[in-house]
Amino acid sequence: MSDYMIELQNVTKRYGPIVANDHIDLGILRGELMTLLGPSGCGKTTALRCITGHLTPDEGRVFIDGEDVTDVSTHRREMVMDALQLIRTEEYEKHYPRQLSGGQQQRVGLARALA
């Protein structure tokens, strides 16, 4: 079993001929603060959406607490309120994605991944 809370192993995601993520390996330890930085279009959101289950990688695997969740739907990954409280975003519980900014959507997506 891995020590990582969230782990991407060899994750690749394509949109037609465009490669958004190319064989990403990433491990995030429990309690670790991690950020993804880069220019617009470099694949940050795609990587987060693979973690949250909103996208399925074309190649590679996604693990949460050592469990392979690559093919697990988003709603089956959730213990939402605990995760929302953990990152202090409880106020977004009843909002639809279209009611949130891009950054808020990513924070809620991260909460889902944590759940």
Domain range summary for the chain, segments of one domain joined by +:
1-72, 78-115
Along the chain (115 residues), what's the average pLDDT of each consecutive run of 10 residues? 88 97 95 91 94 94 93 75 75 79 81 70
> 3-class DSSP state for residue 44?
helix
Fold exhibited by the domain 1-72? Rossmann fold (3.40.50)
* pLDDT at position 37: 94
**Which residues, 6 or more positions from 25, have their beta carbon under 8 angstroms from its beta carbon?**
8, 9, 10, 11
CA neighbor of 97 nearest in space, from 54, 36, 51, 33 = 54
Q: Tokens 């759940």, residue? A: 115
Instruction: State how far the Cα of 85 lies from the Cα of 78, in Å rounded to an integer.
Output: 13
